[in-house]
Amino acid sequence: MKYLEDMVVGSEVHFGDYAVTREEVLEFARKYDPQPFHLSDEAAAKTHFGRMSASGWHTCAMTMSVLVSYLQRDPQAGLGSPGCDELRWKVPVYPGDTLHVYGKLVEVTPSRSKPNLGSVRTEMTVKNQHDQVVMSFTSIVLMLRRPAAA
């Protein structure tokens, strides 16, 4: 288990990859973001997307799936997140793309009011198979500090 004290500013990690399927793009769009350019190549052809693209929110969900899979292999004492900063969708994500999720730890902050807690900030970058950045954001995660020895 990794605790706040184990987190090193400047460390970088490749969290994993995600293959984007047409079926998943359609399923997510139908349920959560039913805009025409997420549902049809014909409708998307009339836009700057050129063809059907994944919702940005779907890209967030796929990224979260990669992060959770990584954390199941490399557990951390995370307590969830109060949010993220600077979320940007930079390049459309299309069915057939493969997403590659990376992070660079930029800040580790022990809590001033809760001695057993702290937070970490990680600059997240999601790239496609062409090494284009498709999404970026700064993740904020609450973490436990290492328990005192009994």
When the pLDDT of each residue in the chain is averaged and rounded to a whole number, the result is 96
In percent, the amount of the chain with pLDDT more than 90 equals 97
Q: What is the predicted pLDDT for the residue at 148?
A: 80
* Mean local confidence (pLDDT), 134-145: 97
If pLDDT is split at 50, 70 and 90, which confidence band does 150 have? low
For 30-86, the pLDDT digits (tens) are 999 999 999 999 999 999 999 999 999 999 999 999 999 999 999 999 999 999 999
Most distant CA atoms of the chain, gap in Å: 65
Backbone angles phi, psi at 19, to 5 degrees: -90, 125
Q: What is the predicted pLDDT for the residue at 83?
A: 96
Burial label for 103, CB within 10 Å (0-12, 13-18, 19+), is buried
pLDDT at 110 over 90: yes
CATH class belonging to 4-144: alpha beta
pTM score of the predicted model? 0.94
Residue 48, sorted as left (phi over 0), alpha (psi -120 to 50) or beta, turns out to be: alpha
Q: What is the predicted pLDDT for the residue at 76?
A: 95
Strands 133-144 and 12-19: unpaired
Strands of the 117-127 sheet, one edge to the other: 12-19, 98-110, 117-127, 133-144, 83-89
Query: DSSP character for 78?
Result: B
Query: 102 with 18: CB under 8 angstroms?
Result: no
Q: What is the Cα–Cα distance from 98 to 150, expressed in whole angstroms?
A: 47
Q: What letter represents residue 118's amino acid?
A: G
pLDDT at 121 over 70: yes
Domain boundary assignment for the chain: 4-144
CB atoms within 10 A of CB 64: 12
pLDDT at 100 over 70: yes
